[in-house]
A and B are shown apart, each in its own frame.
Chain A
């Protein structure tokens, strides 16, 4: 049996102070249903990817909450895996179809973060770390900064090279009407931005965002359907200190190797990828751990524009603008990545279309790498 994305939609990402989570959910899910040309009565289950509804919104029981809002009286589930909640919800939805339980389901990724002050959001996000890391006063920029410093020492990666990731992703975001930041950046601007957790600066970091994205999955193929050729998950220790390696996100490596095997493709076959660039160093690590580049060689390739749209490299990365340029409403990100790939594989990516894109990969990470989710899509 095969599983297809038959419809996909996303809201604009950004500081959406005038909009409620209920409104965002309706816009994303009904948008995806319209795109799938499917009536809501066909939806047999709802999977919601979300991280912080309890800590920030005081609202748990999120499956029922959004089922009520959408008018779906179907089984509904919240799936949580920190910033990989969206990808993890999709994985569970795919499995529910492969089990034969359902034929059509809706998957919603959603997060409302900007209603709260940054210190409170930072505290809530540290729920994805270990107790030891919380006691150390660490933050996620801080944990990725620790990984960045190891990478810089081991492979000679520089802060300017890291800045090139943000520059590329902002460029892509200028081509995406739904992106949070539609302004170009320079390496100098990134280098001059205020320090957050040395060596990471403000413009190395993805923003705090609001947004929702949704896909309709079906076991029936129709016009515009995109095949989910693989859905794979790997898990590692919550805390950085307990990891075997500090020069890679091992969960990314394990999940992607599993996914390549399931889909019957090699890393070199991927035309377009949406990867989890929560911080600039994270995209460099992803390029290497997904085996698009050898260890220590990704940063240089990004600087040379080899992963930028329109540059005729072997793979184009984060055409949506990534987490850095498009925004990072954490539960929505994993689904937005798939929405972007669906556009690319249908050939409707507009100015940011990768020519002749046939195979796409989405890479969604939770915490500092405790969860990694890979989806491979075929057009």
Chain B
């Protein structure tokens, strides 16, 4: 369950991950999504190596089909994750877009 407190607390973690460049290690396209994501499906979810032994799982956005591939270079950006919670706070999180 979302809450304004959790969304606020998570912003520090989100900020640390913005602007990292990396490479897609593996990917899928989610066609049967969780309830909060039904209006976004289908969407690619990618596992990205962002260097220094760190990896991140996130959605790929602003892509062409050819970018959904192992080895594609990407950069992490901040985006809205899903709908605002019942109190109206918008949850933001990390997504990746291809470097073209």
Contacts and interface: CB of A to CB of B under 8 A. Distances in A.
A138 B35 contact: no
Given A142-B45, A153-B70, A198 B32 contact: no
Contacts, number: 103
A122 B34 contact: yes
Contact of A196 (B27, B32, B38, B70): B32
B20 interface: no
B28 A142 contact: yes
Given A198-B28, A241-B47, A246-B26, A119 B58 contact: no
B34 A135 contact: no
Interface residues of A, number: 37
Contacts of A200: 28
Contacts of A149: 26-28, 70
Interface residues on B, range: 20 to 34
A274 to B, nearest CB: 27
Contacts of B28: 141-142, 145-146, 149, 197-200
A120 B30 contact: no
Most buried by A among B57, B59, B94: B57
A200 B28 CA distance: 9
A146 B34 contact: no
A350 interface: no
Nearest to A120: B35
A158 interface: no
A298 B91 CA distance: 43
Given A138-B45, A146-B27, A150-B26, A132 B33 contact: no
Interface string A127-164: 00011111111110111011101100100000000000
Main SS at interface, chain A: helix
A322 to B, nearest CB: 21
A362 to B, nearest CB: 29
Nearest to B29: A198
Contact of B30 (A130, A131, A132, A137): A137
Contact of B45 (A120, A122, A146): A146
Contact of B57 (A194, A195, A197, A240): A240
B37 interface: yes
Interface in A152-201: 153, 194-200
A119 B31 contact: no
B79 to A, nearest CB: 10
A239 interface: yes
B89 to A, nearest CB: 14
A136 B59 contact: yes
Contact of B25 (A131, A197, A246): A246
A96 interface: no
A138 B57 contact: yes
Interface in B28-55: 28-38, 40-41, 43, 45, 47, 55
A99 interface: no
A140 B75 CA distance: 25
Given A120-B35, A241-B47, A136 B29 contact: no
Contacts of A240: 47, 57
A257 interface: no
Contact of B47 (A119, A131, A146, A198): A146
Interface in A218-262: 239-242, 246
A199 B70 CA distance: 13
Interface of B: 10, 25-38, 40-41, 43, 45, 47, 55-59, 70, 81-82, 91, 93-95
Given A137-B36, A139-B32, 20 more contacts: A118-B32, A122-B34, A126-B34, A130-B57, A132-B94, A133-B57, A137-B37, A137-B45, A138-B57, A139-B30, A145-B28, A146-B28, A146-B45, A146-B57, A150-B26, A199-B28, A240-B47, A241-B47, A241-B55, A242-B55
